[in-house]
Structure 1
Amino acid sequence: MSGLPTEHSTASTASPATADHPPPQKPDPTLESNNAPQRGLSASRTAAAAELSSLKIRLRGALRQFPDFPSPGILFEDILPIFANPALHEDLLHALELHVSQAYEKPDVVVGLDARGFLFGPSLALRLDAAFVPVRKKGKLPGPCETAGFKKEYGDDFFQMQADAVKPGQKVLVVDDIIATGGSAAAAGSLVKKLGGSLLGYMFILELDFLKGRDKLDAPVYTLLSTQEQ
């Protein structure tokens, strides 16, 4: 926005014009004004990122690990201590809410997977002013349902969602405690799309990175805590 300096504007008594080049030590006031909203937004995002980082450290420190559960070679990450402590429970919800506010449009619906997605999905939906919809194993929900299959280690399984649970065009966020092979989350996503919902993304507390489950998902994937290596 700065113009070229004029030859006759050299008098020391002249009032400064915003079109003139400002002295090197002073920024152009017009640029200062135009950039103020961007600086404010950047500062807000930086503060939110720092807060989220602090929340993650506290939440990670609360997890317990159980080797060889439920079978040999598995390192089980126990998230239940988070829910046993009201302050940590609040930290979890606030951390997830912070991420949603920065990464997605506001969801109309939060979909939680059977069963541990039910631990925090309804509370998160309430904070986001969104509906909560459960995805359950086949035969657990009443009324007309849509069904999607997925593969497990020892065979096939099926998820269901009530046929009127998601309205066409509603924006949907799918949540669960952990992403492993990604099959169950992918099935939930397919149910959302069958009902005409718009899938914003998937959000998890933890991830078994070496299983590459996110490769099966067709929307943005976010994991709150650092992934578990093999």
Structure 2
Amino acid sequence: MIFDEYTIKSLIRPVPDFPKPGIVFRDITPLYHSPRAMRMVADSLIQRYVESPVTHIGAIDARGFLLGAVLAYELNKPLVLFRKVGKLPAETLCEAYETEYGEAHLEVHKGALGEGDQVLLLDDLIATGGTFLAAASLIKQMGAEVYEAAAIIDLPDLGGSRKMQDADIPVFTLCAFEENE
């Protein structure tokens, strides 16, 4: 299936003033209502990474789990979950980060990755980059490396993709929305 950025962008619903005034939330749920668009997203990412040296798929809580599970299955790679605090049952590593709404924390199971592992990090979008940077820090604490950070959407006006690139984390997104779009 041929990737069509217009189709992907047309199915991402802008929700003004959510979760607080002044924020335009980019809702991906209409994208998941379209089997064609969902296949387009999944196939585009699968084709990008099918012959890569990625050893693990890192999925970020919670919308990253949707793509992460599909890619882990299709690429036959282990899935590592990066979760909000208190959601993982075993011993964890924790990292604090800033969001556009305040401070948050991200956890991963201790020992989920090891030396030499190459992790593809997935989430639905890149905003301020805080969640991705926190996950990257946790990956490095375990001796692994971020191969690339991927998302459906980039919000470049919030500066996250630039911060990630400045931290030597390669970034790939399927589309971008400027503030005025």
Superposition TM-score, scaled by structure 1 size: 0.71
Corresponding residue number in structure 2 for 1:39: none
Instruction: Measure the CA separation in 1 of the matches of 2:101 and 2:161.
Output: 21
Corresponding residue number in structure 2 for 1:144: 91
RCO greater where, 1 or 2, for CA within 8 Å and sep 6 or more? 2
CA RMSD of aligned residues (A): 1.9
Moved more, 178-187 or 74-83: 74-83
What SS class does the counterpart of residue 73 from structure 1 fall into? coil
1:193 aligns with 2:140: yes
Contact 1:166/1:195 (CA < 8 Å) preserved in 2?
yes
Moved more, 136-145 or 92-101: 92-101
Instruction: Measure the CA separation in 1 of the matches of 2:174 and 2:10.
Output: 13
Q: Which runs of 5+ in 2 are unaligned?
A: none
What SS class does the counterpart of residue 174 from structure 1 fall into? strand
Contact 1:107/1:128 (CA < 8 Å) preserved in 2?
no
Q: Which runs of 5+ in 1 are unaligned?
A: 1-47
1:100 aligns with 2:54: no
What SS class does the counterpart of residue 133 from structure 1 fall into? strand
Instruction: Check 1:115–1:214 CA distance in 2 against 1; reply closer, same or farther (3 A cut).
Output: same
Once the two structures are superposed, the pairs formed by residues 35-74 of structure 1 within 5 Å of their partners are 51-52=2-3, 54=4, 56-74=5-23
Structure whose alpha-carbon radius of gyration is higher: 1
Corresponding residue number in structure 2 for 1:225: 175
Instruction: Measure the CA separation in 2 of the matches of 1:152 and 1:86.
Output: 31
How many pairs were matched up? 177
Contact 1:107/1:173 (CA < 8 Å) preserved in 2?
yes
The Cα of 1:229 is off from its aligned counterpart by: 2.7
The Cα of 1:150 is off from its aligned counterpart by: 0.6
Larger proportion of helix: 1
Moved more, 212-221 or 184-193: 212-221
Instruction: Measure the CA separation in 2 of the matches of 1:196 and 1:121.
Output: 21
Runs of 4+ in structure 1 displaced over 6 angstroms? none
